[in-house]
Structure 1
């Protein structure tokens, strides 16, 4: 298939054009959580509100979203059935573990990547002044529902929000009414909470890669003068010989995540991917160049490459891109002849 620049531009989501949802979840009015913005960039996401805007609906085998919060803003304690990966774009953040934040914390900053294990409670708070943004990858085309801690339900009721079974949110304070046959979602029981065990600190440390600990793998097909690719999440070795690790996880991800670094003026070879490939500009500025022309990408932008589409990436200034490729062991970049 031949891709026009107009069609390719539809696959680029500018940070400046992100459409937030401010009532995405049942905790949206809870004190401390009422200023957060949620984004669904690729895929249906996990929002409980029909107001959530989806930027790109095409299935990828994983979902991409985001959270934007000012200082002191909380995301309440919850658990996921599938992978949830945080890439810190801006700001400093603190993750809280346990149903009531009793199992410890982890502080993360720009460029850090953490894959929080499934079947455990987590929440997070923006720590420093100003607004920060987390870029988030969720496993699967259907990432499942969020499971909230008991205190979240109590606060939601106080502020007129009711969650139905199946994940639909009813806003009583806005005049919505419960359907006659409504079945209310209930807080997890003590036995259910007991099954959502927080791993030990040593175990959780295996789920984090600090930005300053990224290491390039010279076997990357994209590596060259001024270009290096750093593995971050690789449950298994890809066909390009990179991986597994440093984050492997003891739960399925369904994707690999890497960081591509380009010095000013550097360029990758021409290549295509048979697997889904999503690019997120962590810092700097780059261009995606193909026969039809080029698209510019700036910090905070997300772009999804068409499968089988030949292109190269050129950096106008020093740039760092997060790369997500579908599958636990993707084929990876196939260089042009």
Structure 2
């Protein structure tokens, strides 16, 4: 397929153009959680509200979303069926573990990446002043449902929100009525909570890579003068020889995550990927260049490369780009002849 610049532009989601949903989940009116914004950038996400805007619906084998919160704003305790990865774009954050936040915390800052294991309760709070943004990757085309802690259900009902068994959010305080024969979702009981156990602190430490600890791989086909690629999440080695690790996980991810670093003026070779590839500009500014022309990516922008499409990345400033490629062991970049 021949790609036009207009068609490629539709695959770019600029940070200023992100459309938030402020009533995405059943905890949206709970004190401390009522100021958060949820974003679905690629894929359906896990939002419970029909108001959630989806920027790009094309299946990738994984989902991309985001959370934007001011200081002191809390995302309530919940568990996921599939992988949930946080890339800290801006701000300092604290993750809380356990159904009532009793199983410890983890503080993360800009550039840190953490993959929270499935089937355990987690929540998070923005710590420092101002508004911060988390870029989030979820495993699978259908990332499943969120399972909320018991206290979340109690607070939601106090504020007029009810969650149904089918995942639909009903706003009773806002004038919604319960559908006939509606089945209400129930809070997890003691047996279910016991199964959603928090791993040890030692195991959780295997799920975090600090920004300052990123290490480039000499095996990366994209490596060259002013260009390095750092593996972050790799359940298995890619066909390009990079990986596994440093985060491997003991649960399915369905994607690999790396960080591409370019100094100002540096460029990757021309390459293509046969699997889905998503670029998120953590910092700096770059251009994606192909026969169709040039597409600028600025800090906070997300772009999904067409599969099999030949292109290169040129940095206009010192730039860091988070790269997600579909599959636990993707083929990775194929250089042009």
Query: Normalising by structure 1, what TM-score?
Result: 1.00
3-state secondary structure, aligned to 2:314: strand
Corresponding residue for residue 122 of structure 1: 122
Residue 171 of structure 1: how far off its partner (Å):
0.1
Distance in 2 between residues matched to 1:179 and 1:275, nearest whole Å: 42
Distance in 1 between residues matched to 2:68 and 2:97, nearest whole Å: 20
1:143 aligns with 2:143: yes
Corresponding residue for residue 162 of structure 1: 162
1:275 aligns with 2:304: no
Q: Map Cα deviations across residues 285-318 of structure 1 (whole Å, 9 max, x no partner).
A: 0000000100000110000000000000000000
Distance in 1 between residues matched to 2:179 and 2:51, nearest whole Å: 19
Residue 223 of structure 1: how far off its partner (Å):
0.2
Q: Map Cα deviations across residues 264-286 of structure 1 (whole Å, 9 max, x no partner).
A: 00000000000000000000000
Corresponding residue for residue 212 of structure 1: 212
Residue 239 of structure 1: how far off its partner (Å):
0.1
Residue 249 of structure 1: how far off its partner (Å):
0.1
Distance in 2 between residues matched to 1:180 and 1:52, nearest whole Å: 24
Corresponding residue for residue 227 of structure 1: 227
Matches within 5 A, 1:73-112: 73-112=73-112
Q: Map Cα deviations across residues 130-162 of structure 1 (whole Å, 9 max, x no partner).
A: 000000000000000000000000000000000
Residue 73 of structure 1: how far off its partner (Å):
0.1
Corresponding residue for residue 238 of structure 2: 238
Count of aligned positions: 337
3-state secondary structure, aligned to 1:100: coil
Residue 246 of structure 1: how far off its partner (Å):
0.1
Distance in 1 between residues matched to 2:211 and 2:155, nearest whole Å: 36
Corresponding residue for residue 326 of structure 1: 326
RMSD: 0.3
Name segments (4+ residues, structure 1) moved above 3 Å.
none
Matches within 5 A, 1:1-337: 1-337=1-337
Q: Map Cα deviations across residues 68-99 of structure 1 (whole Å, 9 max, x no partner).
A: 00000000000000000000000000000000
Q: Map Cα deviations across residues 202-240 of structure 1 (whole Å, 9 max, x no partner).
A: 000000000000000011000000000000000000000
Residue 5 of structure 1: how far off its partner (Å):
0.4
Distance in 1 between residues matched to 2:324 and 2:149, nearest whole Å: 30
3-state secondary structure, aligned to 1:260: strand
Distance in 2 between residues matched to 1:86 and 1:173, nearest whole Å: 32
Distance in 1 between residues matched to 2:210 and 2:222, nearest whole Å: 22
Listed as ranges, the gaps of 5+ residues in structure 2 are none
Residue 199 of structure 1: how far off its partner (Å):
0.4
Listed as ranges, the gaps of 5+ residues in structure 1 are none
Residue 166 of structure 1: how far off its partner (Å):
1.4
3-state secondary structure, aligned to 1:174: coil
Residue 180 of structure 1: how far off its partner (Å):
1.5
Distance in 1 between residues matched to 2:120 and 2:112, nearest whole Å: 20
Distance in 1 between residues matched to 2:222 and 2:119, nearest whole Å: 36
Distance in 1 between residues matched to 2:220 and 2:188, nearest whole Å: 45
3-state secondary structure, aligned to 1:6: helix
